Amino acid sequence: MRTEILGIPVDGITENEASALIFDRINGRSPDAPPYCVVTPNPLMIMESRKNSALRNGLLLADLSLPDGNGLVSAAKRAGTPLPGRTTGIGTAEKVIEKLAETKGSVYILGALPGRADEAAGRLAARFPGLVIAGTRDGYFDAAAEKAAAAEISRAHPDLLCVCMGGARQTSFVFDNLKTLSGVGCAMGLGGSADVWSGKIRRAPRFFIKIRAEWLWRMLAEPRRFSGLGKLIAFRILTRRRLFGRKKRENTGAIQ
């Protein structure tokens, strides 16, 4: 089931379902086809997409859109199109990686600070024996070097490309280089996942996850993220306002 939140499509799919679908697409890919593209929108990305056309186009064109934020789950429920729950990018990716390790499949990690992609790859390889590391590269390259980075990834032919460069930049990288990335099985936008896999940033403790405050944990762990608090509040207001406006119109129509 696919629904829309502020004009952005989101798929109602669990992590198990999403990982199985992605793994099937990887195995059934054509060597010359562009990668199966997976985005992981959250409230901040959706708010940013209202001003960033490149990000918006990527979110609209993606093959699979995972609701990586409790705010999306709440908004969909208020709109009468409930989702199964939050489907995290990192959780889905790890399930795909586990399946790839069983078949000696490969992964390429792109993004984060210099050295972190290497650390993330090493820890993943130790965690999932059999996994092949097709390559790594940090996210610190300019527009002039972007095509070269995409070509390097394409030559590596990874089954899974984990693009960990933040919502707007990782989405633009994938969709601006779709043709160059032919041969890659699946490209997933995964934000700060490389930082987590490297061990530099911890995932939220179970308590924060249970009370649906993983966003708060991320802000406490990385104070720079507090700059996005205003967007989270705006997202909540906008999704409530649109629902209220729709109900008001429906009620008015019923009276007439």
Span 52-72, average pLDDT:
95
**pLDDT at 244 > cutoff 60:** no
Helix/strand/coil for 166 = coil
% pLDDT > 90, the chain: 70
Q: What is the mean pLDDT of the segment spanning 67-75?
A: 91
Tell me the mean pLDDT in the region 51-66.
96
Please determine, for residue 246, whether its predicted confidence score (pLDDT) is greater than 60: no
Average pLDDT over residues 94-123: 97
Mean pLDDT across 62-87: 92
Q: What is the pTM of this model?
A: 0.86
Q: For the residues of 58-96, what is the DSSP string, one character each? A: HHHH-SEE---SHHHHHHHHHTT---SS---HHHHHHHH
pLDDT at 241 over 90: no
Q: Does the pLDDT at position 161 exceed 80?
A: yes
Mean pLDDT of 4-21: 96
**Are 164 and 139 contacting, i.e. CB atoms less than 8 angstroms apart?**
yes
Q: Looking at residue 253, what is its pLDDT?
A: 46
Q: pLDDT, tens digit, for every residue of 180-231?
A: 999 899 999 999 999 999 998 776 667 666 666 665 666 666 666 656 667 7
Across 81-85, average pLDDT: 93
pLDDT of residue 213: 63
What is the C-alpha separation between 185 and 31, in angstroms, rounded? 9
Query: Whole-angstrom Cα distance, residue 208 to residue 250?
Result: 37
Residue 104, phi-psi category: left (phi > 0), alpha (psi -120 to 50), beta (remainder): left
For residue 223, the model assigns a pLDDT of 67
Q: Answer yes or no: are the C-beta atoms of 99 and 22 closer than 8 Å.
A: no
**DSSP one-letter string for 15-56:** HHHHHHHHHHHHHT--TTSPPEEEE---HHHHHHHTT-HHHH
Distance CA 153, CA 184 (A): 8
> Cβ–Cβ contacts within 10 Å for residue 63, how many?
16
> Would you state the pLDDT for residue 242?
57
CA distance linking residue 118 with residue 200, whole number of Å = 12
Q: In this structure, what DSSP letter does residue 5 have? A: E
Does residue 132 surpass a pLDDT of 50? yes
